Amino acid sequence: MSINLQLLFTGLGIGSIYALVALGFVLIYRATNVVNFAQGDFSMIGAFLMVVFAIDMGLPYWLSAVIAIVAMAGFGILFNYGVYYPLRHRTFLPVSSARSALRSCFRTGCWRPTVRTRRAFLPCCRSQASMSAACSWTASTC
């Protein structure tokens, strides 16, 4: 019975994420008449900021999330007035090109990834960096 509940809540969580992504596509399409495929890249910037604030700066997770949300709202306003607003009366191609250019910058040119260890989310877990670029989580004795 517990595995069924776990699968139920996992499915509800993943389905909710898919619904939010679809809602984001619909809202952006209805507002600009262009499908924004860089939506995931914008989300990646928010997650990257959260990790930088939590891991590199050592802030608590809740404070890092609030700062990342505020920073992404500022970035969205800046991107709206810097890129979308000047292109508001243009056709599909310039708007799509601006989004593709930003997406390309996010993926290849803006920063280089580095391998870092993470502090544990749970107090009885610790992280160990493996020889590959991944981090493996092992449970310690509490």
Q: Read off the pLDDT of residues 35-52 as tens digits, 9 standing for 90 and up.
A: 777 777 788 888 888 999
pLDDT of residue 78 exceeding 80: yes
- Using DSSP, state whether 135 is helix, strand or coil: strand
Owning domain of residue 47: 37-110
**Domain shared by 28 and 77, yes or no:** no
With respect to residue 3, please indicate whether it lies within any of the assigned structural domains: yes
141 vs 79, residue with greater confidence = 79
Q: For residue 42, which amino acid is it? A: F
What's the CA gap between 127 and 130, in Å, rounded?
9
With respect to residue 45, please indicate whether it lies within any of the assigned structural domains: yes
What's the CA gap between 26 and 20, in Å, rounded?
10
Q: What local confidence, expressed as pLDDT, does residue 139 receive? A: 40
Q: How many domains does the structure of the chain reveal? A: 2
**Domain shared by 22 and 43, yes or no:** no
**pLDDT tens-digit readout, 82-104:** 877 777 777 777 777 777 777 77
**Domain shared by 73 and 14, yes or no:** no
With respect to residue 49, please indicate whether it lies within any of the assigned structural domains: yes
81 vs 32, residue with greater confidence = 81
Q: What local confidence, expressed as pLDDT, does residue 70 receive? A: 95
**In Å, how far from its chain's centre is CA 19?**
16
- How far is residue 114 from each of residues 21, 52, 65, 117, 133, measured CA to CA in Å? 28, 12, 21, 10, 9
Q: What local confidence, expressed as pLDDT, does residue 114 receive? A: 58
**Domain shared by 19 and 77, yes or no:** no
Instruction: Give the mean pLDDT of the chain.
Output: 75
**Domain shared by 51 and 9, yes or no:** no
pLDDT of residue 4 exceeding 50: yes
**Domain shared by 16 and 65, yes or no:** no
With respect to residue 138, please indicate whether it lies within any of the assigned structural domains: no
With respect to residue 94, please indicate whether it lies within any of the assigned structural domains: yes
With respect to residue 60, please indicate whether it lies within any of the assigned structural domains: yes
Q: What local confidence, expressed as pLDDT, does residue 113 receive? A: 56
With respect to residue 42, please indicate whether it lies within any of the assigned structural domains: yes
With respect to residue 134, please indicate whether it lies within any of the assigned structural domains: no
Asked if 39 contacts 21 with a C-beta cutoff of 8 angstroms, the reply is yes
Q: What local confidence, expressed as pLDDT, does residue 132 receive? A: 38
**Domain shared by 51 and 92, yes or no:** yes
pLDDT of residue 141 exceeding 60: no
Q: How many CB atoms lie within 10 A of CB 130?
A: 10
